[in-house]
Amino acid sequence: MSDDWDKPTIIGHGARRPAVAKGTALNAAQRSGAAIATGTKTAGQSKGPADHQRIAALDRDDAPKPPEKVDVSVGKALAQARQAKLKPDGKSMTQKDLATAVNAKPQDIADLESGRAVPNQQLLAKLERIVGVKLRGAPALIGTPLAGPKKK
């Protein structure tokens, strides 16, 4: 009990542990014939057994389908209409100019023209008004000139 009072308390350090026998100490113990146990300690695994019923159900289940992409005809129609549209200086409209006009990123326009983009109805509606060509609806109508409002 009095031993506890005599030891200084060192904050921030754990108690000194006996060092692991290495190299020369291990060889000396082997030469003397002492019992030596060499092995590594591993932590217990917290993983339980696999739930095979759940795994089998996931295998049987259909995988989620990737989102559909814009049709290539939409991209071609958009690219042709964009190039036909002239800027005030007489040059054809670039993807960046079109993106600025519809308040979108130039990469979004590039993705639409290449057919990699997910359909965004709001963006397609803005693009239709700027380039004056239908980009939504029946495949036969895509690329046709956009008609004005119906007359009463």
Task: Work out the pLDDT band at 45, boundaries 50, 70, 90.
Answer: low
More confident site: 68 or 19: 68
12-21, 29-38, 86-95, 131-140: least confident range: 12-21
* Residue 143 located in a structural domain: no
Q: Is the pTM of this model over 0.75?
A: no
Within a domain: residue 30?
Answer: no
The answer, yes or no, to whether residue 124 has pLDDT greater than 90, is: yes
How many separate domains does the chain show? 1
Q: Give the CATH number of the domain where residue 125 resides.
A: 1.10.260.40
Task: Flag whether 3 is in a domain.
Answer: no
- For residue 148, being part of any structural domain is answered with no
Q: What does the pLDDT read at residue 13?
A: 64
pLDDT at 29 over 90: no
3 state SS for the chain = CHHHHHCCCCCCCCCCCCCCCCHHHHHHHHHHCCCCCCCCCCCCCCCCCCCHHHHHHHHHCCCCCCCCCCCHHHHHHHHHHHHHCECCCCCECCHHHHHHHHCCCHHHHHHHHHCCCCCCHHHHHHHHHHHCECCCCCCCCCCCECCCCCCC
Is 84 inside a domain boundary?
Answer: yes
Tell me what the pLDDT averaged over the chain comes to.
Answer: 84
Q: Which residue range(s) make up the domain with 102?
A: 72-131
